[in-house]
Amino acid sequence: MLIDLHVHTNHTRGCTATAREVVRRAREAGLDGVAITDLNTLEGLAEVREAAREENFLALCGLEVATDRGHFLCFFPDPARVPAPAQAFGSATPWPVREVLARVQALGGVAVAAHPYDKSIERPSGDVIFTLDGLSAIEGLNARRKGPANDLAVEAADHMNLPCTGASGAHELAEIGKAATLFKELVASEADLVAQLRAGAVFAVAIGVSPGAATADRGHDWHARRERGDGGGRRDHDRGGRGDGGGRGRGPRRGGRDRR
C-alpha cells in the first residue's frame, strides 16, 4: 500500500485545505491512503474520520510535533485516546525532544524524524538524531525538501539502521502524493500503521518525479521492487529502507562535516 504519511490541513497555520479535500486529492493522485499530520494538534481527528467515511478512502490521523530539536511525525494506535499536546508534553514550548519521544512511547505511539536536516525550520534536528532514543524511522524523502536535506536524512537512517519513510509534506492540495511510503502489509487503521512502522516494514517512494539522472526511472518501478522484496540504503534515495551497512546507534563518522 502507498500512503502519503505527511499532509497538512487547515488545522495547520498557513494551510487552507479541508480534510475532505485532502482525501479526494489523495485518491486522484493514485494513493491507497493518506495520513493527516497537522502541526502540534489532533483537533482535526473528527473531520478526518468523517472524510474517510464519506469518501470511502483510508484517511489516518497523526500529528507533527515541533520540538526544541526538530520536527517529528507521531502516530498512535488510537489517536482519540491521546491527550492534547499541551497536556501530553507540557504547556511550555518548545517541547524538549527527548521528553516528547519518551511520552510518545509511553502512549503506545511511534515517532518518525521529519525532514531532520531541513534548515528552513527553526531548531532543525541535524545530527542530534544520532543521540535520540525512541525513533522508529526517518523521513528520508520529503517532496518539499530538495537535494542535501533528503540525502543526509537517508544517510543518517543508514547509519542508524532505521527505515526511511516518504511523504509529500504537503501544505497545498497540488503537492499531495508526490512522495509516499510503501507498506508491505495491509494498513486499515492507525494501529496497523504503528505496528508496521515499529516493525520497519516500510520503504520511501518517489511518485511521478525524477530525483536525479541516476535514479530517473526508480520512482516508477516500485511494483517490481515490492515483488522482489528489496530493501534500501543511501544509494536508493527514492525509496529508502533499512541500509545494509548501518549499525543501530553507530552515529556520525568522525571527521565528517557538521550537517546541521
Pick from 99, 80, 101, 75: nearest CA to 202: 75
Q: In degrees to the nearest 10, what's the CA dihedral of 113, 61, 68, 87?
A: -140
Residue 246, pLDDT score: 35
Domain ranges of the chain: 2-61+133-228
Right CATH for 2-61+133-228 from 2.40.370.10, 3.40.50.620, 3.40.50.300, 3.20.20.140: 3.20.20.140
Residue 146, pLDDT score: 82
Give residue 209's pLDDT band: very low, low, confident or very high (50, 70, 90).
low
Question: 19-45, pLDDT tens digit by residue?
Answer: 999 999 999 999 999 999 999 999 999
Average pLDDT of the chain, as a whole number = 85
Residue 106, pLDDT score: 98
Residues 9/44, Cβ–Cβ less than 8 Å: yes
